[in-house]
């Protein structure tokens, strides 16, 4: 069968590999969809997943159909639709340095346990939407890290897939007002479609002034202001200006949660924000959230579908990777099988 592998720096190719076999504790899955992640572009750029180099299978945002179930596995049947936890495979991380990747025809889940590597979903959920489960878990963990609660006011910087997922998660827990900030108009339109209460184009408006207008005025601990009466700032953009704008706007004991990958250092004047006692929290992955977010995905899948900008068939997976790696060309690309 065919699988997509990183075979060297800047090189990704089709590789013919053997179809996996199934033992009594295993489950064989036919891939039905797999999203393209920004980390896939990084793996291609460096020639693998460090420290491993070369011959690296790609794809860690999968949705699949059960086609064979080992005799010792319970809770699954042939034909079940499943979402997958790529972090819990016993042969390494799926698509991130392990033995298998999701951009292939079949994968085997060794030592399969429902609720550990797999969760069954209703068959009416479109495959491309089901493949969002993994990145939406990343967004959900960022919201969990932020501590956002019902009645809060929040702002999300960056209306890409993780930012949009964060908006959905914030609204699901009763956050009263969510503002999305981006510089791309169609992304701001998507933010409104998934539930943002307001949007700001930061190329056209002063972020702090607009947040004060939307959320009201506050101060730091010693009365300095005006600050925005925003409880949670969530960075899903990864630009230095985002951090600086959030800290400039932050009131006393506001929370800044950072899920974005920052590729350059950010210089912060801690003296200037000392009186605000800002709580800065970093977020990575999804320690518990991979199947927590599935309930929301099932209940509100038409909203999550707005996140997807392109779907391409498996025989065009190389084109999908190239599209996802081209700045500004796509938001969320999903390969379907």
- Who's near 280: CB < 8 A, 6+ residues apart? 255, 256, 258
Residue 300 CA: distances (Å) to CA of 197, 227, 293: 17, 34, 11
CA atoms within 13 A on the CB side of 88: 19
Looking at residue 51, what is its pLDDT?
58
| Cα gap 334→184, rounded to integer Å | 21
Instruction: Name the class of domain 2-132+308-336.
Output: alpha beta
Per-residue pLDDT of the chain (337 residues; tens, 9 = 90+): 999 999 988 999 999 999 999 999 999 999 999 999 999 998 998 888 765 555 889 999 999 999 999 999 999 999 999 999 999 999 999 999 999 999 999 999 999 999 999 999 999 999 999 999 999 999 999 999 999 999 999 999 999 999 999 999 999 999 999 999 999 999 999 999 999 999 999 999 999 999 999 999 999 999 999 999 999 999 999 999 999 999 999 999 999 999 999 999 999 999 999 999 999 999 999 999 999 999 999 999 999 999 999 999 999 999 999 999 999 999 999 999 9
DSSP 123-158: TTS-HHHHTTHHHHHHHHHHHHHHT--TT-EEEEE-
CA angle, residues 261, 266, 269, in degrees to nearest 5: 140
* Of residues 239, 244, 212, the one with CA closest to residue 228: 212
Structure tokens at 101: 């990747």
Looking at residue 171, what is its pLDDT?
98
DSSP 170-206: HHHTT-SEEEEEES-HHHHHHHHHHT-SEEEETTTS-
CB distance 309 to 285 below 8 Å:
no
* Of residues 25, 24, 2, the one with CA closest to residue 15: 2
Averaged confidence pLDDT in the chain: 96
H-type alpha helices, the chain: 38-46, 127-130, 133-146, 161-172, 185-194, 207-215, 240-249, 270-273, 294-299, 301-304, 317-325
Looking at residue 46, what is its pLDDT?
84
Looking at residue 50, what is its pLDDT?
65
| Cα gap 35→132, rounded to integer Å | 7
CA-based radius of gyration for the chain: 21
What three-state secondary structure class fits 46?
helix
What three-state secondary structure class fits 214?
helix
Using CB atoms within 10 Å of the CB of residue 323, give its burial: 0 to 12 exposed, 13 to 18 middle, 19+ buried: middle
The structure's pTM equals 0.96
Helix, strand, coil percent content, the chain, rounded in steps of 5: 30, 25, 45
| Cα gap 209→185, rounded to integer Å | 20
Domain boundaries, the chain: 2-132+308-336, 136-282
**Fold of the CATH domain 136-282:** Rossmann fold (3.40.50)
Looking at residue 47, what is its pLDDT?
84
């Amino acid at each position: 069968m065919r699988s997509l592998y990183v075979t060297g720096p800047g090189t990704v190719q089709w590789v013919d590999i053997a179809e996996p076999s199934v033992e009594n504790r295993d489950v064989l899955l036919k891939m039905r969809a797999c999203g393209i992640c920004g980390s896939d572009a990084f793996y291609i750029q460096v020639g693998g997943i460090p420290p491993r180099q070369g011959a690296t299978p790609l794809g860690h945002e999968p949705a699949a159909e059960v086609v064979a179930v080992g005799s010792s596995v319970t809770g699954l049947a042939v034909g079940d639709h499943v979402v997958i936890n790529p972090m819990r495979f016993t042969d390494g991380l799926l698509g991130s340095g392990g033995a298998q990747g999701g951009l292939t025809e079949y994968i085997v889940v060794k030592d399969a346990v429902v609720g550990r590597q797999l969760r069954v979903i209703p068959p009416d959920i479109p495959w491309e939407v089901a493949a969002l489960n993994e990145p939406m878990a990343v967004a959900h963990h960022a919201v969990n890290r932020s501590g956002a609660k019902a009645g809060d006011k929040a702002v999300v910087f960056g209306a890409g897939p993780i930012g949009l997922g964060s908006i959905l998660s914030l609204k699901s827990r009763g956050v009263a007002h969510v503002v999305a900030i981006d510089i791309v108009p169609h992304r701001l339109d998507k933010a409104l479609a998934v539930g943002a209460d307001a949007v700001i184009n930061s190329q056209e408006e002063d972020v702090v002034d607009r947040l004060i207008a939307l959320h009201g005025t506050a101060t730091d601990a010693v009365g300095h202001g005006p600050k925005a009466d925003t409880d949670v700032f969530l960075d899903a953009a990864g630009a230095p200006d985002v951090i600086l704008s959030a800290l400039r706007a932050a009131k006393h004991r506001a929370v800044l949660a950072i899920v974005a990958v920052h590729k350059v250092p950010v210089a912060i004047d801690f003296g200037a924000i000392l009186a605000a006692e800002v709580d800065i929290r970093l977020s990575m992955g999804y320690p518990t959230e991979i199947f927590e977010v599935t309930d929301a995905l099932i209940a509100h899948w038409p909203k999550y579908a707005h996140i997807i900008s392109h779907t391409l068939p498996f025989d065009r997976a190389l084109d999908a990777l190239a599209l996802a790696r081209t700045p500004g060309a796509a938001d969320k690309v999903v390969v379907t099988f």
